[in-house]
Amino acid sequence: MSGNLLKNPDGEDGLDYWQLTENGGDEWKTEDMPGDCGHAYDNELISKFFCTSYEPCIKTQVIDLLAEGYDPENLDIAQPAVNVEDWFCGRTDCGCIYKLTVSLLDENKEVITEFKPEEVTLDPDCDDCSWRKMSHTFTDYGPGLRFISFEHGGQDTKYWQGWFGVRVTGSSVTVDL
């Protein structure tokens, strides 16, 4: 029960295990590191990333904690910390927008609480757009946790045909129980 609960967090299996909730422009795809006009990634175990296009591309994975072997009573009493991590970057030639929403859900998939930071815009004219980490830890969220929804993506800022939008990889969700 320990370790990353997200399946295919870095695109090694294409888009398997992900629900494409928005698949605009030229749609989601995966590429090998570092990709065209890309940045080095400092974890050599990750060799691929997901990339977005010129219209919104959002993908979601819902984790069923009971199916993963977690006991409902332990979840309710312990309310274990839920750790979220996601890595994103832009290209050296085009700006992009990154979005993330992670929701803790009850048995009816109603939101208990969520982490939804402001969207991030990367612009190669102002910064290097290299890989950045977005992370959050949920604590003291109350009883009832049964599912975790992880949703992320974005698009490019110049509406260029192709895959010039945000790149994501190394996503993880862990539960400290």
Measured in whole angstroms, the distance separating CA 33 from the mean position of its chain's CA atoms is: 17
pLDDT of residue 14: 93
Q: Which residues of the chain have pLDDT under 70?
A: 1-2
Which pair of tokens denotes residue 59? 């993908």
State pTM to two decimals. Answer: 0.94
Helices (H) and strands (E) in the chain, counts: 1, 11
Residue 108 sits at φ, ψ, to 5 deg, of -95, 10
pLDDT of residue 120: 96
Residue (of 129, 133, 131) closest to 100 by Cα position: 133
Beta partners for residue 65, in sequence order? none
Q: How far apart are CA 72 and CA 79, in angstroms?
A: 10
pLDDT of residue 159: 86
How many other CB atoms are found less than 10 A from the CB of residue 116? 12
Residue ranges and CATH numbers for the domains of the chain are 19-176 (2.60.120.260)
pLDDT of residue 161: 86
